[in-house]
Amino acid sequence: MPPRHGLRVPAVPSQPGRRRNTSSAISSSGTRTSQFLITWQRAGRPVNIESVPPPAPARSRRVVGDSDRVAEDDGGSERQYAGMPPEARRQQRRERLLEATLDLVGAGGVASLTVGAVCARAGLSKRYFYESFTTTDELVAAALERSLECVLDAVDPVNVTADTSVEDMVRAAVSGLLRAMDDPRAARLYLESPAVPAAAAARDATVEATVDQLLQHIVGDSRATEPQARLTAHLLISGSTHVIALWLRGDLHMDREEFIDTLVRVGAQGADQLNEPPHRRDEAPMTTESPAPGGCSA
């Protein structure tokens, strides 16, 4: 055969007991290639050059030894990967994004959030961000909802019986929320969430759901839609979320137990009002005093 690359390959006499290896082998790429050995003389010493099969096609990357780090790695495949089904992997990636959000909010506030920063913190590519969320505002809202789950659990009919008092419900809800806020990352998110429209909407939705459950427990479905009952319940729940923010900021100088006891007492008083029949307008006390200039009574 002609020499390759212009190299002159002198004939080498065969040696007794040695055979030239011309066998075929299967390369890592799955193709059959011939391996051969060229022996030539260089500087008086034999040098062996063995042909190298072409490199295998690039394979998808995977972080070895970290089964929960499924990155750009699985290609969005619907097959089992790292022992996990596709939906479980998607949920795992979503949780990593939420944890990364809390980390970044804790360090630099909501304003520090970008898609790139969150993905870098979570160790995921941007396409996995858009697998679960469309904007960072939506991500912030989801992170806040996760922190507020304890409030909804406290008033969920599954966890509330007919014997559960309003005081017990309020104490469970407030105590659960404060435990969640013991995580300084979650506390900062709670305080800054009103500046993010999607997060503010999520907070309002939690208040509305809590009002619904509280009214159903106290007055039943028949009166849960009465305007006065809903007004009273909203004052209790919305007011509580506001004073909790004040307490977290240190604007209310009360220890934890005193703060919780106060909210429980106010909640019980509000429940007593909810149990009263609604007042009619014609039952309101009348006054014979003339209004002061400007429309206000003297």
pLDDT truncated to tens, each residue of the chain (298 aa)? 555 555 455 555 555 555 554 444 444 444 444 443 444 444 455 544 444 455 454 444 443 333 344 344 454 445 555 677 889 999 999 999 999 999 999 999 999 999 999 999 999 999 999 999 999 999 999 999 999 998 888 888 888 887 888 888 889 889 999 999 999 999 999 999 999 999 999 999 999 999 998 888 888 887 888 898 899 999 999 999 999 999 999 999 999 999 999 999 998 898 888 877 665 434 545 454 555 555 555 4
Contacting residues for 184 by C-beta, under 8 A, at least 6 apart: 106
Segments making up each domain of the chain, as ranges = 4-50, 71-133, 143-276
Could you confirm whether domain 71-133 is CATH 1.10.10.60?
A: yes
Give the count of alpha carbons within 13 A of 151, CB side only.
27
The pLDDT tens digits for 127-147 are: 999 999 999 999 999 999 999
* Measured distance between the N- and C-terminal CA atoms of the chain, rounded to whole angstroms: 118
pLDDT of residue 286: 47
> What CATH code would you report for 143-276?
1.10.357
- Can you give the three-state secondary structure of the chain, one letter per residue? CCCHHHCCCCCCCCCCCCCCCCCEEECCCCCEEECCEEEEEECCEEEEEECCCCCCCCCCCCCCCCCCCCCCCCCCCCCCECCECHHHHHHHHHHHHHHHHHHHHHHHCHHHCCHHHHHHHHCCCHHHHHHHCCCHHHHHHHHHHHHHHHHHHHHCCCCCCCCCCHHHHHHHHHHHHHHHHCCHHHHHHHHHHHHCHHHHHHHHHHHHHHHHHHHHHHCCCCCCCCHHHHHHHHHHHHHHHHHHHHHHHCCCCCCHHHHHHHHHHHHHHHHHHHHCCCCCHHHCCCCCCCECCCCCEC
Interatomic CA distance for residues 236 and 65, integer angstroms? 51
Please state whether the predicted TM-score (pTM) of the whole model is above 0.85. no
* The pLDDT of residue 192: 95
